[in-house]
Chains A and B, each alone.
Chain A
Amino acid sequence: MKLRVVGAVVAALTLTLAGCSEKAKSSDDGAADKNGVKTGEGVTDSKITLGALTDMTGVYASLGKSVTQAQQLWVKETNKAGGICDRQIELAVRDHGYDPQKAIGAYTELEPDVLGFTQFIGSPFVSAVESRIDGQDKGIVLPQAWSANLVGSKYVRVIGATYDVETINLIDFLLDGKRIAKGDKIGHVYFEGDYGENALAGSKHAAKEAGLTVVEQKIKPTDNDMTAQVSALKQAGVKAVVISAGPRQAASLVGVAAATGFKVPVVGNNSAYAPQLLATQAGAALQKDYYIGASTLPIGDAAEGPAKLAEAYAAQYPKDGLDNGVIAGYNAASVFGEALKKACASKDLTREGVDKALLTIKDFGADFGIAHDFTDPAAPSTRQTVVMKPDAKTPGGLKVVRPAEVAPAAESFTLKP
Chain B
Amino acid sequence: MTTFIELLLGGLSIGSVYALIALGFVVIFKATEVVNFAHASLLLAGGYVTAVLHDDIGFWPALAVGIAGAAVVGSAVEFFVMRRYRGSDQSVLAIVTIGVDILLTTELTRRMGTDVLSLGDPWGDDVVTIGGVTLAETRIAAFLVAGLLITVFLLAFRFTSWGVSMRAAAENPQTAALMGIRLGRVSLSAWAVAGALAAVAALFLTVFPTPGLERATSLAALKAFPAAILGGLDSTTGALVGGLVVGVTESLATGYQSDLSFLGRGIGDLAPYLVMVVVLLVRPAGLFGTKELSRV
Q: Flag if A276 contacts B116 (CB, 8 Å).
A: yes
Residues on the A chain within 8 Å of B257, using CB: 217-218, 232
Shortest Cβ distance from B246 into chain A, in angstroms?
14
Per-residue CB proximity of A61-82 to B under 8 Å, as 1/0? 1100100000000000000000
List B contacts of A258 (CB < 8 A): 125
Q: Is the CB of B211 within 8 A of A255?
A: yes
Partner of A281, one of B2, B110, B125, B256: B125
Cβ of B116 and Cβ of A285 under 8 Å apart? no
A260 to chain B: closest residue by CB = B134
User: Does B154 make an interface contact (CB < 8 A)?
Assistant: no
For B129, what are the chain A residues with a Cβ–Cβ distance below 8 Å? 261
Chain B, Cβ-Cβ closest to A193 = B266
Known contacts A231-B3, A248-B214, A277-B116; decide if A285 and B209 are in contact (CB<8 Å): no
> Which of A216, A224, A229, A276 makes the CB contact (< 8 A) with B210?
A224
Q: How far is the CA of A239 from the CA of B74 in the complex (A)?
A: 48
B269 proximity list for chain A (CB < 8 A): 220, 222-223
A255 to chain B, nearest CB (A): 6
CB <8 Å contact, A224 and B3:
no
Q: What is the 8 Å Cβ interface bit string for chain B, positions 116-147, against chain A (1 contact, 0 not)?
A: 10100000111101000010100100000000
Within 8 A of A (CB), among B216-267: 216-217, 219-220, 250-251, 254-258, 265-266
Q: Roughly how many angstroms separate A306 CA and B110 CA in the complex, as a whole number?
A: 30
Q: Is the CB of A192 within 8 A of B265?
A: yes
The one of B7, B124, B211, B265 in contact with A224, judged by C-beta atoms closer than 8 angstroms, is: B211
- The answer to whether A248 and B258 touch across the interface, beta carbons within 8 angstroms, is no
Q: Which of A192, A227, A251, A258 has the most CB of B within 10 A?
A: A227
Give the interface residue-count category, chain A: 35 or more
Please judge, given known A-B contacts A248-B116, A279-B116, whether A222 and B219 are in contact too, CB under 8 Å: yes
- CB-nearest residue of chain B to A219: B266
Q: Are A280 and B127 in contact (CB under 8 A)?
A: no
B114 contacts chain A at the CB level, 8 A cutoff = yes
Interface residues of B in 152-189 (CB under 8 A from A): none
Is the pair A276, B115 in contact by a Cβ cutoff of 8 Å? Answer: yes
Do B265 and A218 touch across chains, with their CB atoms under 8 A apart?
yes
Q: Mark A residues whose CB is within 8 Å of B.
A: 57, 59, 61-62, 65, 192, 215-229, 231-232, 234-236, 247-248, 251-252, 255-256, 258-261, 274, 276-277, 279-282, 285
Please give the residue numbers on chain B whose beta carbons come within 8 Å of chain A beta carbons, in ascending order. 2-3, 6-7, 10, 14, 109-110, 113-116, 118, 124-127, 129, 134, 136, 139, 207-212, 214-217, 219-220, 250-251, 254-258, 265-266, 268-269
In the complex, 18 of the A-B residue pairs with CB atoms within 8 angstroms, ordered by the A residue number, are A215-B258, A218-B265, A218-B266, A220-B269, A222-B219, A223-B268, A224-B220, A225-B209, A228-B254, A231-B6, A234-B3, A248-B214, A248-B216, A259-B126, A261-B129, A280-B118, A281-B124, A281-B208
